[in-house]
Chains A and B, each alone.
Chain A
């Protein structure tokens, strides 16, 4: 009962003026970053990270949750109206939404996307509230060798999720772990890779890595592109959207069916729990499943409301699922939750099995923010801002990217009040840019960096309690379970690749 009382307190915390302002402000920022092609909600949260030094942790988490939820559904706005997905997770929505826009039903398509996001996001948030404490209970059963195998499982699944570039995923993940070894050793007071400098003695902070990998590298990518505005103004003027057209007819909602909405939410949530899988994968798998089981598969690729509902419901539900491993095991499953973990670490908090027991009062408002964002802010924002939003995201590139550069660089100065952090951010930015240009997944770099220290610590602890004998990983039941699970995932994701319809196939 205490758990549910604390959750209710989380909702009342949202009513505090400052927290409420960050909830709404975060949602609007997330909507903007999600809708502008090239920007993502992850970048918005990365830019928020330095500000969390001065923010209350609850307020920062609420802002992160609303940005995350907003970024997932706002990509559908430009995906539908001008066929450019604002976020990667809206790729499937563009396939179905744009044909509808061309038939003059774009507003209705956006309405369906918002409704599915609302249902998916809300169900995901409820599932998070119910399942997170159960996952934390289960996490208590895992001992040191099992913790090592669990983190190894997470890292391996993150690598093999990069289906077409597994070796490159392994390279960047290992590089991330290598960067994390700089500084004092996790077990002994021995400095490592400091090259005689005292500045590296404390290790490399997560902030310059996040700012560099996600903000600076994006600036460098955008610097190679031409154009005055983020979105073509001519395309924006092509269609006018009326507010009343956003409400989807009940007959179409019935045709999609309650079962489809729930199924998409459950698929999205389950994919969110998996390490390495993000909104794009959630939307794609749910969309593919909807197409496979649809009564009208022939409508897919030509403007199917069911396809939009499946994709959007899943990617919003994924947001909540991604928090389960982060809060219960301290293992972020995707870059966004890795940055949220950074917010907690900056404030001296370390998620784990007992985190919800001891710190629920800090995260309960975040749970509430996920639910309120989905139930209230998704439909409200579309209804109020929808007709103008495409114009809002058509912003001057010079103003937008100059502003991002200032926030990113000055933000990285905040941690230690030294330009060393800024230099590190630039260094990681250039590194991430070169990696991106050669199609190396940089999300793996961050996840390797975040999970690396725990992987090493549990590996060495497990070996030291067993006199250096690595058989402990096979004789410990929990460790063996995760090693076998790794084998199962490897078999199904690499050896026997899932045969799902391709985006190109659907589009054609």
Chain B
């Protein structure tokens, strides 16, 4: 619209540009409505060929100048000598770098829209024993938080229930899709256990020492009681399966039923624990219960205090959020930032979790802080790509840019962990997705508001 008066006047610009210039400008003007419409256009699958790119195939393997071909939902070819298929839309990304999509290993994304409004919270069912609740069911694929998150190159997240001891199952979701099922990545489902926190909870915990001891014991007793019952339930269930006619089905208990795959060793258990003593207790408990090799530890803010124990247990850790003060007043100021490095140095596989909902996008900066606080850039990138992919058993599908894997990747004009870098193109499951979102649209509208002060 702004072009019209300029073109109609005999401006210096229009004379200088000449007829071709005018046509070009006009063409650009005609394209503008399309650009606006594109804001609501869904993503589209290719084939696409991203050419002249630096490619971060894995965090430790970079192709200096190559091509990535995307066909359907997958990466069809990667390398310096890949030819562009005739039917592919070519996107020249010279001077830019292609990164594998990042993974946040712990969020509430899609399960809460507005923090203070309980009507919009779906991660927190009532009760201590709600292990049959599935976060995936309540994921809102159209939450305003998904488009604002993925434009930072974050293409998949673990989204978790919370509250109570056994709040339900967490799910790995890709950040494009119109149903939870379309988003569910690799079928990854983790039973979550918020391990009972023993001991004093902090400065405002004014319970008497005897009360703390009593309540800690009660909490552990309760967990063991539930687990005993679940083991019995699983045993009866197995017995019935062998002799369906001879035995009676157990009374249907959904929460017990949901723990059967864990007890049978078929499903990972995500144990959330942060205080050092809780982590130790949780590892001992898991060993006693015979589920240690299924354990993924979440949170682990004091994991560095018991890093050797965690390493010896062979348990991977989803650490974070690291962007908070150390847990104790006596701790060095940067201990939380250093936790990923300290765990990594002890030999523990480390993935990063932001623990956020609307600001999962900050995962990239968390990784930057982990990198500079001992982890190094390569391992920081691993902590948001290949390591979580391996922990969740989807390393054949995501985490690197290799032929045959899902086309979850993005193109950036610099280091994607640096604030001044911009993501230029984004693909999830081969869909090229628009980069605009409500926050960028507000910027576009209000940077130069019209009318300004005077109408």
Is chain B found bound to chain A in the same assembly?
no
Interface positions of A (Cβ within 8 A of B): none
